[in-house]
Structure 1
């Protein structure tokens, strides 16, 4: 799989949920370019893989329909033969009722979320997100003997004087403070890198915490989520193979995306992706 194939499949899954909805919403794209560093490296794949996340707000319908749209997305995906990622039980009275599902056999993960805007009136805003499995960029695939189906992404070491490097490290530092746990020595494939592809250049910073007991891992992710929300980031919870939902957050003043997710190795993995062009310093 390459980036375009992953995006196309994610878009297909989104439209399988949306095209039959009533009332029919308008799709409003969320976030920057969808490709980012892979943080689900628990299947012993190469450490320089990437993954794609495509997310949309469902707009143009009354806020009172938000929860109904999430239910319709769930039903449409079930008709496609997709499976719940958990028991399938959803607490529809919670602030953010969420449906977690996955496709088979290609193993794309998706969620449908409704966030309450006005609890008294029962109004909210629905959104859908699809995340691909991790895959090698075409240039890396070619090195393993495969034929890339799109132009290769080029990985290189970023300059320490690059403002994007400073932004990525500054955001990682704030996330480290929020997690309140120690970091592990840099693992193969972690650290700073710049990727250049058809959409431009981005700086990636990936790192891991020390191994933690299950409860402490979940608590650390919750602290990260609290930090992102208090700092004004746009926050989404996403399912993970480990079980504890991860967090994907978008910075309000940049096109920076941060991912925080638990790992079956016992660590919490963090990835920060920021465009190579942008503000010279990272905001809180």
Structure 2
């Protein structure tokens, strides 16, 4: 089964690597991975710069991949804001690097890292684990503070075949500064609230199954609503307290039992550290849950639930 049938890769990037949320003009990071800078820009400027960062990564790649745009609508509400009311927005671009053998995915991720390092961009935490057949790396530009991730999604673990992807996220900026942003597009509807309720309900059941204390809420965690054309998704994210790897393995085992007994389709996915994560899909409502061990010892949980399509 291919990755795209499980989850929009943009959501997978967000949960797996923990992008930080934008704040009030500072550049310190938080737990969800979008930049924490209030930027003076509009949608076109943010999009052009994000595209530039992508092209910087792929320009010298060998073999040469084909970029395939994926994920949700590029302009969305600022992930750091608790309510998606449209006061602040940000641009997020995600591309799959297609048209190359699956065993070259790791090579492409490393080449992206090298291109960004050459331009003086900074690592978010540490370099990728290049002994891992499916590595990932998270960095930010200097000085404009765009955040980017290159990762390898698993296609065939036994053959070590993957699919490389790149995601770039702008700092948050005021919606009024965008030439095409429509604040009304971020307003909540009954369908949005229903999706949020389902996402929170699934997330609560995951919490019950893990039996690990909830960590303090960080910026960027909680509910967010994403839109692509007529499609709407609710996303609920939270983290546990830091725990030992053995405890995390047992907790993830309990979560897997919960998913399987409830009829979810389940697969393991490699994590940045420690035990493998879990990716599960609910066949009834299309929700996708992703549980990922993080480098700080926490388990990060995200549930994405589709709402009714707009007309």
TM-score, normalization: structure 1? 0.61
1: CA distance, partners of 2:278 / 2:200: 17
Give unmatched runs, 5+ long, in structure 2: 1-40
The residue that corresponds to 2:229 in the other structure is 199
1:28 to 68, 88, 91: 68
The residue that corresponds to 1:151 in the other structure is 181
Which digits, 9 at most, give the CA deviation of each residue in 1:59-117, with x for residues without a partner? 211223222212211121122221222343x4322242222221111222222223565
The residue that corresponds to 2:25 in the other structure is none
Q: What is the aligned length?
A: 253
Q: Is the 8 A contact 1:221 1:261 kept in 2?
A: no
Residues 1:62 and 2:101 aligned together? yes
For 2:131, what is the secondary structure of its paired residue? coil
Residues 1:131 and 2:161 aligned together? no
State the Cα distance separating 1:54 from its structure 2 match.
2.5
Q: Is the 8 A contact 1:181 1:209 kept in 2?
A: no
2: CA distance, partners of 1:50 / 1:268: 27
The residue that corresponds to 1:113 in the other structure is 151
Which digits, 9 at most, give the CA deviation of each residue in 1:133-158, with x for residues without a partner? 3x2551xxx4xxxx443333234443
State the Cα distance separating 1:25 from its structure 2 match.
0.8
For 1:126, what is the secondary structure of its paired residue? strand
2:195 to 149, 164, 167: 164
Pair 1:275–1:20, CA change in 2 (3 A)? same
Q: Is the 8 A contact 1:158 1:193 kept in 2?
A: no
TM-score, normalization: structure 2? 0.56
Give unmatched runs, 5+ long, in structure 1: 239-246, 279-284
Q: Is the 8 A contact 1:63 1:123 kept in 2?
A: yes
State the Cα distance separating 1:24 from its structure 2 match.
0.9
2: CA distance, partners of 1:177 / 1:91: 32
For 2:93, what is the secondary structure of its paired residue? strand
Root-mean-square deviation (Å): 5.1
